[in-house]
Amino acid sequence: MFCAGETLALALLARTLADVVAGSQSGFHWGHAAMALGLTLAATATVRAWLAWWRGLRWHCTAVLHAPDGKEPLRIRLQGPGGARHEAVVRQCWQAGGAVVVRLVPGAPGMPGAIFLPWQAGSPELVRRLQRAARVALRVQPDMPAGERFC
């Protein structure tokens, strides 16, 4: 009911704005200028997100770091462009078909928010080890939201 009322209110607002914009030449120009500004902002945001995603694809998982007591979060070692090396904590891991998405806790600037396996792993054996370790480690972490899917 609330959603239908909200939709109706937005439709009436859009119709009123369209009538105002179409009613005068200055309204017509103002409306097109606002749409051009909105399109420019959306395009800029899209390009920035795409560039960040593309830079993230250049990172590779080189090692799985096991916690000595088995209760610490799962950590992996990443190697980035130019030989940059960082350790990252795995936040989530899920499988989609033949691919595995590993979400990471935000770290150093420029680090990816996720890696995609098997494409970003050093070897097929590393993919298997990371999947196995993620299955175990992510199930025992206490702060996992309910309903998460694991790989």
Bridge partners of 75, per DSSP, are 65, 89
pLDDT score, position 70: 64
pLDDT score, position 46: 94
Q: Is residue 124 reached through a cis peptide bond, with omega within 30 degrees of 0 on the bond before it?
A: no
Mean pLDDT of residues grouped by 10 in the chain (151 residues)? 79 82 80 90 93 82 75 81 85 75 81 77 74 62 48 42
Bridge partners of 63, per DSSP, are 77
Domain ranges of the chain: 2-55, 60-140
pLDDT score, position 5: 81
Q: Are 78 and 61 in contact (CB under 8 A)?
A: yes
pLDDT score, position 151: 42
Q: Are 90 and 103 in contact (CB under 8 A)?
A: yes
d(CA 109, CA 50): 16
Q: For residue 44, give both structure tokens.
A: 């800029």
